[in-house]
Structure 1
Amino acid sequence: MQQLYLLYVLCLVLSHATVCKIASAQPPAGYISWSPRNMNRTKLFCPIGCNYENDPEECCLCQARECWEIDPYSCSLALRVLHVEYTDINGTSRVLQIGSTVNETIYVLKHTDGYLTTFPTNLNEYRDIVKMDLSRNRIKQIAKLSFLNVLSVLVLDENLVTYISNDTFIGLMRLRQVSLAQNLIRYIEPSSFFTSEFSIFYVNISMNKLTDIDATLSMPLNEFCNIDVSKNNLANMINPTAYSFNKSEIHGPGKIFLDHNSLNFPNCTALGVSDWTDFGEYAQYNYELKPQTQLTCDCIIFYYFDKIKLSNLRRIWTDFDTLECSSPEHLAGKQLTTLYDEGNYDIFICNITIDCPRHCHCYDQPSRSNVVVDCEGKGLTNLPEGPLPVGFWGNQRLELRMKNNSITKIGATDYIDRIVSMDLTGNAISFIEDSAATAMRNDIELNLPDNKLQALPSHFIYLDPNKINTGNNVFLCSCEIVWIENWQYKLLGNKTGYLCSHNGKVMPVSEISLNLQCKMKNEDLFAKIIPASLVSIGICLLLLIVCLHFRFEIRIILARVSSRMSQAKIHNPKVFISLDESQEEIPLWVKNDVYPCLCRWGLITCIPCRNFLPGYRQETAYKSAIRECKAYIVILSKKYNQQDVSSTLEEENSTTNWTKTEFSYIWDECFNSGQTKLLIVVNFEQLRPGHFKDRRLRALCRVGNVLDFRQREEKMLTRIKNMLNISQQYQQPLQDSLSIVSCDEISDTVSERTTLVRRNEHRKNSFIRNSVVPMRLEAESIPMFEVTRRYPNPKADCVANTFFRPS
């Protein structure tokens, strides 16, 4: 009770006391509070008895009432009747109230059988009107009534309204019933009665002048009780706003009365239904037609019979078992159930006039998916000129009926490839153009009896002889039609073969080669060679593209196979190591671990940062040193091969700009020089192939001799030694004065590599100075230095260049 009291006080504070009073009303006896699905509608009460119906929702839609309609006194409402006073002879009026007014007063305005031409001018002074009945007046236009936000019932029967706009009822959120029967309405804008914001339960627009009904009214998404458009001049259901039927939503329920109209069966595809089966399953409407409705049973009814189950048809069309066709003439008076049971759906056709040849009859026959062009006996001398019509659902298949004309040939047309059947019986056809035969469908049906054919195009060998009927035509025997001998073997049943005449003698085509001594020609030779050639060319192009894309990978694999087959050991003890010197971790590892082991194995090692003095690196020296080596170790890191030499030539102390040049020379020596040389790649930072822009490095990472620190099955240096395959004569220890650890004991796994580098931090000395292990270099590997001297001269400076090699 305390909560109800607080709600009552809150309603008194609001400006619109009546609305709040209705909102606080308790359900009257025998009713329960109810709100429709998917709509923000409250303050409605449904009879308790609807809970026992098969469809309680549909029952409440038709029987729900507001409290003032059931018992105003139980809602503490005062219901007052308003009166109308005319202000001039033209039907202008104003509203009058008789009696006192309290805050809980609601109004009913009823003025029937009068002379009103417009709505009363002072309606906005009475905003609490819940029902308005202005039937049998002379109102021509419905005024904007959005200020009547509690209006529930609007009756305007037998007036002179001609047009309904889609904003006529905007703002009337509680409007449930609209009756506009017996007006002069000719057009209703889409979404006038049903939108996403409101829905009217009862719509009565019967006995008006409507000729079309749009999809938003005939197939609304919202729930409703009745839509009555009976006794109009309806012929079609249209979709001007491209309305789309959404099967994920429940459409309806509700009943739509369409009886006493001359209605064509609606084309569900044109109404936004992509699949007619969905319409039968998800549309919860009931269309009331009644036997008095004039129905046109054309091609559209085929899709109802073919796509929608009979049980759904009987649910959607409630009078389905008693409905009869009124047109076309050959179906007039036949019941739909009889036509459905007979299953002869070829009789459902729609006439087509667009692009139909003159004097011909064109129609759409959806049961066969054909567009029929019937020109029998029209005196044609040639096939009709295009274009020819297309079916209502975009069907392109053509069936031409051209019997008993004077057509002399079958030539190429712009629609020849659309023809699935053509009857040319009783014409004067003497030949068929090769271009027309080439364009024909392989499954075409041709009837050619009673013509003057002397031969068939050789392209007919690709057609089905069982669908080609030449009737009594006798060809001229020649070696050009020998192909028919094998073609006619495909004939099924008791069909006789083709005949030809020679010197007045008629013989089977199978005897031509014997009597005329024709050499059999393989007509299929080119037809078989050309496709095979195209396939071969395509495969070759594909292989070429693959080889071009993976050319480096292929070159690496071939080089590896060649070196494995030779199984040669390294007899030249020179090894070149290419690395990025900007990474502190890599030079330390090479200096303290890799280089001593290579020396222990008797190999001469060339390391750029050790063998070439800073500032005196020359490409010729690099190239010479790389050429003399027989094995190469490339240590990959993030910045390896990323900076071009040309961009850093001015930076004399650059440490990373020479790796691109080194790798290019190494690649040429390994894969372009024709000599067997070994390339070992150490993936120091576990990089993926996609990290490098150079396609050669990507190929090496994919299929090359790549050693990765993630591979824990062997020590890194042991794997390098195994891959080098060193000749036994070089495997001898160094001088006893050299103090290095055993190469087999050095651990180079990923987890231990960091520890190894930290252990060697105190030895971050240059390779050129303070090296632990002496460097063994041959004289030719020591770079040449250039010294420039200038001597004074009276005319010009004398310059002398001197080259020398340090000892």
Structure 2
Amino acid sequence: MYSSYEVWSPNSVNRTDLRCPSDCSKDAENVHHCCVCKAVPEWHLSSKYILLSLEYTKRDGSAKVIGDKHSSVPAILKHRDGYLQGLPTNLCDFINIREIDFKRNKISTIGIISCLSKLDRLDLSYNKIYQIYNDTFTLLTHLRILILTHNGLTKLDPFSVAGTSLSIGHLDCSWNNLTEIDISNIIPENDFCEYKFNSNEITKFVNKGGFSLNKDKIYEGGLVELTGNLFSKFIDFEDLGIKDLKILGTLMSFGFVLSDAKFDCDCHMTPYLELAEPILKKIWRDYFNMSCWNPPEYQGLSIPGLVIQKKLDLFICNITKECPRYCRCYHQPHKRRTVVNCTDANLEKLPKYVPDASNLTLLFKNNKIKTLESRDYLANATFIDISGNGFDEVGDNVSLLIRNDIHFLMQEHNLKDLPRGFQLLNPCFAQIGRTEIKCDCKHLWIKDWLQNKNAAQCENKTLVICNTDGGQIPILSINRDDLCTTSVITFQIPSIILCVLAILIFVVSVISYYYRYEIYLLFRHIKSKSNKISVISKYDVYVSFDDDNPFLRYWVLQFLDLKLKQAGYRNFIPCRDTFPGDVKEENMINTITNSRNFLVILSKTYEYDDNIWTKLEWKNIWHHFYNNKDRRIVISNYDLINHPIDLKLKAFIRLGLDVDFANRRHILLDEVKLKLGLPYCAQQSYIRNAKPKFVPSKLSVVRQGEKYEENHKSKMSLVSSSMVLLEDRIYD
């Protein structure tokens, strides 16, 4: 029926009532965009629609729609040049309304229009609508044409006209009072034909809605008209959340029109102009019509012309903060530098301050600076020109502040010698110029420096001349023997000695650190040989072991504990003596603090990661042992472990301070008791009532154990009643 139109459906919404002109198919690559711009509803072509009318109900501009609200035929509601204050009260009863034209009324708010889900066109131009909210048109998924011109609009909420659910192809917000526009309203998620924001007061784009580009999406569209606004700054896409400028041209297939913008051609343009070829030609359709407005000397210059002529270094931003008097300071992004130009400024000393920036270019040429003083900003400089000053002195630390690879121009100076720190510089980059000095042996470093840096190839930049009795000779042409009239004192032997000492100290330090616990235990063992009486403790022995090992637990409870008790030791075994309900860690710390010595039975599972409590026990045992010089730790190597994980346990094993289980079970307890020392009660009775008996060092371990048992029995028999009472008090 409609030979010149074809059925077409937009990508963003499932519609079958739109028709696209057949001419659009002639350009295969742009068929879809052509249809977005030129499609018309089927009811317009067939004229199968009804016209609704409006009836005012109050003098305040209230009205209602008159017509058949039950009809399924598309309806058009048109009422121009009236005095409507708001939308008709019964508007939502007519759900088949497809077009609304309320041009030239007095509508100030849009409230209930979202109920018209099939609305295709809305014209609210020449009304009094000042703000559009982000939920005003949310449910109008079929809306293709929205006209809001001449309303006095001052604000468009983010995503209010270009939200993800909207498919507005034609938007006209021209001739309003907008001062800024959110980028979410000019880069729609769905295809569009034309968005007009002409003749507003827009000065900038903002990103208050948190918009970000989807790298997996191509943003199709036509033009965003922005002429007749107050733009002066180039659009800063990075501030708008678009961090990767290189992908901008790839993702965006539409452009902006800003032909009459009065652009400030400054440093803010540089990042985008550097990408002019791949990006700006694509997204800026009138790119070649852009020209500079400021600064005045650039007014009228073609911006793309400056790009083509490779004059991007003209785009700068002047800096006034901390810029020295009579100097000019500016930021030049194209050359990645900040320039402080004090050439011919009649300066007598270096400025104390310059703008805080990296990659400084300092131009102090042709002044009256006599001393090259130390300034902190020299460390940030990549280029310094201080030539033509005739300075004769270089301050301390200047050479340390200046970068090694700096371009340093200092020709026409009056230096009589070169600072030793200059050897850090490259003489071909640091153009020192001609320097005449009276050479002697102390200037050997200059000859070595210039030779090592191949300065012979850049004598036009750095040349050191020696004033000799035979005339002026370049220092590179003088023999070393001619520089030194006396033999050079060699410092090789002292240097070698210092190197050996340094290496020795380093090795000793490494070894000392690696064996720090072994060294500590040895020194402690030596210092512990005294007759000092220990502080009274509640327990003689705290036994730490993996009580999840049934064999080891049986041996400790049924054998070890019994034997130690028979010898008079007061033992604490955590798995047996900890009361149910006690805070385990707190009770452990208190018991360790009240124990005189510690017996650690080292098994394979003692250091397992699962054994949290044994690890915590060992940590607190070592801490108490370390802070109390009268405490002892006895390690019983139950599983003959040679390399424990813990470095402190490893130190005991390395020094042989552990008690070995293998092949020596008949003397195991004797060794344990010898290392633990006498129990407290026996020690006290021994001191009060018994004469000490000394065991000859040549006796075997077995004999020593027998003597120990004999002494112990005699000591226990001498305990007085007062000691028994003391024991009772201790246990209490």
Q: Does 1:153 align with 2:131?
A: no
Q: Does 1:371 align with 2:338?
A: yes
The alpha-carbon distance between structure 1 residues 303 and 533, as it changes in their structure 2 partners (threshold 3 A), is: farther
- Residues 439, 483 of structure 2: 8 Å contact kept: no
- Residues 436, 464 of structure 2: 8 Å contact kept: yes
Instruction: Measure how far apart 1:403 and its partner are.
Output: 2.5
Paired residue for 2:241?
272
- 1:259-408 equivalences in 2 (<5 Å): 259=227, 264-281=233-250, 283-289=251-257, 297-304=265-272, 306-307=274-275, 310-320=277-287, 322-327=288-293, 329=297, 332-334=300-302, 336=304, 340=307, 342-343=309-310, 345-390=312-357, 396-408=358-370
Paired residue for 2:445?
483
Deviates more, 1:257-266 or 1:505-514: 505-514
Kindly provide the amino acid, as one letter, of the partner of residue 54 in structure 1.
Answer: E
Paired residue for 1:431?
393
- 1:63-212 equivalences in 2 (<5 Å): 73=48, 79-83=50-54, 85=56, 92-95=60-63, 97-104=65-72, 107-112=75-80, 114=81, 116=83, 118-120=85-87, 122=89, 128=95, 129-137=97-105, 141-150=108-117, 151-159=119-127, 163-166=131-134, 168-169=136-137, 172-185=140-153, 187-196=155-164, 198=166, 200-210=168-178, 212=180
Residues 497-553 of structure 1: CA distance to partner in whole angstroms, max 9, x if unpaired? 223668997554556984785887999999999999999988876665444489899
Kindly provide the amino acid, as one letter, of the partner of residue 609 in structure 1.
Answer: F
The alpha-carbon distance between structure 1 residues 79 and 505, as it changes in their structure 2 partners (threshold 3 A), is: farther
Kindly provide the amino acid, as one letter, of the partner of residue 696 in structure 1.
Answer: L
1:463 to 425, 438, 462: 425
Distance (Å, rounded) in 2 between the aligned partners of 1:454 and 1:319: 62
Paired residue for 2:29?
54
- Residues 482, 512 of structure 1: 8 Å contact kept: no
Q: TM-score, normalised by structure 2?
A: 0.64
The alpha-carbon distance between structure 1 residues 616 and 451, as it changes in their structure 2 partners (threshold 3 A), is: same
User: Among the aligned pairs, what percent are the same residue?
Assistant: 22
1:465 aligned counterpart, secondary structure: coil
Distance (Å, rounded) in 2 between the aligned partners of 1:525 and 1:109: 106
Instruction: Measure how far apart 1:467 and its partner are.
Output: 1.6
Kindly provide the amino acid, as one letter, of the partner of residue 559 in structure 2.
Answer: C
Distance (Å, rounded) in 2 between the aligned partners of 1:522 and 1:219: 76
The alpha-carbon distance between structure 1 residues 413 and 86, as it changes in their structure 2 partners (threshold 3 A), is: farther
- Residues 552, 696 of structure 1: 8 Å contact kept: no
Kindly provide the amino acid, as one letter, of the partner of residue 639 in structure 2.
Answer: V
The alpha-carbon distance between structure 1 residues 172 and 385, as it changes in their structure 2 partners (threshold 3 A), is: farther
The alpha-carbon distance between structure 1 residues 330 and 790, as it changes in their structure 2 partners (threshold 3 A), is: closer
Paired residue for 1:225?
193
Instruction: Measure how far apart 1:291 and its partner are.
Output: 5.8
Deviates more, 1:235-244 or 1:531-540: 531-540
Instruction: Measure how far apart 1:178 and its partner are.
Output: 2.2
Kindly provide the amino acid, as one letter, of the partner of residue 280 in structure 1.
Answer: G
Give structure 2 stretches of 5+ with no counterpart: 523-543, 572-600, 622-631, 666-702, 725-732
Instruction: Measure how far apart 1:466 and its partner are.
Output: 1.0
Instruction: Measure how far apart 1:202 and its partner are.
Output: 2.7
Instruction: Measure how far apart 1:420 and its partner are.
Output: 0.7
Distance (Å, rounded) in 2 between the aligned partners of 1:191 and 1:527: 74
The alpha-carbon distance between structure 1 residues 532 and 782, as it changes in their structure 2 partners (threshold 3 A), is: closer
Kindly provide the amino acid, as one letter, of the partner of residue 441 in structure 1.
Answer: R
Distance (Å, rounded) in 2 between the aligned partners of 1:319 and 1:269: 22
1:466 aligned counterpart, secondary structure: coil
The alpha-carbon distance between structure 1 residues 512 and 122, as it changes in their structure 2 partners (threshold 3 A), is: farther
Q: Does 1:31 align with 2:2?
A: no
Distance (Å, rounded) in 2 between the aligned partners of 1:99 and 1:167: 28
Instruction: Measure how far apart 1:462 and its partner are.
Output: 0.5
The alpha-carbon distance between structure 1 residues 488 and 154, as it changes in their structure 2 partners (threshold 3 A), is: same
- Residues 243, 272 of structure 1: 8 Å contact kept: yes
- Residues 352, 389 of structure 1: 8 Å contact kept: no
Deviates more, 1:607-616 or 1:213-222: 607-616
Give structure 1 stretches of 5+ with no counterpart: 1-27, 391-395, 555-577, 591-605, 622-632, 649-662, 668-678, 708-716, 725-775, 800-807
Distance (Å, rounded) in 2 between the aligned partners of 1:539 and 1:223: 73
1:285 aligned counterpart, secondary structure: strand
The alpha-carbon distance between structure 1 residues 172 and 287, as it changes in their structure 2 partners (threshold 3 A), is: same
Kindly provide the amino acid, as one letter, of the partner of residue 121 in structure 2.
Answer: V
The alpha-carbon distance between structure 1 residues 579 and 286, as it changes in their structure 2 partners (threshold 3 A), is: closer
Kindly provide the amino acid, as one letter, of the partner of residue 159 in structure 2.
Answer: S
1:422 to 358, 377, 384: 384
- Residues 371, 392 of structure 2: 8 Å contact kept: yes
2:374 to 412, 416, 421: 412
Q: TM-score, normalised by structure 1?
A: 0.59
Instruction: Measure how far apart 1:370 and its partner are.
Output: 0.7
- 1:295-694 equivalences in 2 (<5 Å): 297-304=265-272, 306-307=274-275, 310-320=277-287, 322-327=288-293, 329=297, 332-334=300-302, 336=304, 340=307, 342-343=309-310, 345-390=312-357, 396-471=358-433, 474=436, 483-489=445-451, 490=453, 491=455, 493-496=457-460, 497-499=463-465, 508-509=474-475, 514=482, 517=485, 544-548=512-516, 585=551, 609=559, 613=563, 615-618=565-568, 636=604, 664-665=633-634, 681=639
- Residues 296, 325 of structure 1: 8 Å contact kept: no
Distance (Å, rounded) in 2 between the aligned partners of 1:361 and 1:541: 56
The alpha-carbon distance between structure 1 residues 779 and 500, as it changes in their structure 2 partners (threshold 3 A), is: closer
Aligned length in residues: 606
2:345 aligned counterpart, secondary structure: coil
